Amino acid sequence: MSVVPPPPRTPGRYRIALVCLGNICRSPMADVVLSARVADAGLDDVVEVVSAGTGGWHAGEPMDRRAAALLTAEGYDASRHRAQQVRASWLDTYDLVLAMDDANLADLQALGPADPARVRLFRDFDPEGTGEVPDPYYGGDAGFRDVLTLVERTADALTGDLLHVVLPTGHP
């Protein structure tokens, strides 16, 4: 599904939170990849990307070592991530709060009133599909590679959309 991101709450600034269950596999991968795409597009001064888990069990921990190994092999910096738990206030402060799966989205919606244009599935911005980013935690390496494929494709599309939504001219 390809939707257009909503306008920024504050002109000239765009804040995106990526959310999964534990904040050690999927949302950190999406965070690292989207941050890299945003930087490549010259938007890192105006677009903020963070990630969090609906649960706080892994708070303070680095990324899952399988996720970090794959990202590193693909040329990304996975070293800076530390897990944190999402806060209810994010529903009102971030321009987009993007859940990796349906359960993550339901957990976000349970935190308080959520604008459906801003609090939604990450893959709503996937130009070639829709639905969930499957949880790779209990599976093998192929699951992490599948996550990276979905995340890279969706991050590419979202970054292209942001150029138009954040910068009125569409140019950095």
Tokens linked to 57: 């069990």
Q: Smallest Cα–Cα separation from 20: which of 154, 129, 135, 149?
A: 135
Q: Which positions are catalytic?
A: 20, 26, 135
Q: How far is the CB of 96 from ligand 4NP (least distance, A)?
A: 18
Q: Is 24 in the site for ligand 4NP (CB under 6 A)?
A: yes
Tokens linked to 123: 């893959």
Q: Is 18 in the site for ligand 4NP (CB under 6 A)?
A: no
Cβ nearer to ligand 4NP, comparing 5 with 22: 22
Instruction: Convert 73-84 to b/e letters by CB count within 10 Å (16 or more is b).
Output: eeebebeebebb
Alpha-carbon distance of 111 to 86, in angstroms, equals 10
Residue 34 in contact with residue 96, Cβ under 8 Å?
A: no
**Among residues 20, 68, 71, 151, the one that binds ligand 4NP under rule CB under 6 A:** 20
**Among residues 137, 146, 153, 165, the one that binds ligand 4NP under rule CB under 6 A:** 137
Q: Is 57 in the site for ligand 4NP (CB under 6 A)?
A: yes
**Among residues 15, 22, 68, 124, the one that binds ligand 4NP under rule CB under 6 A:** 22
Please report, as ranges, the residues that interact with ligand 4NP according to CB under 6 A.
Answer: 20-26, 57, 135, 137
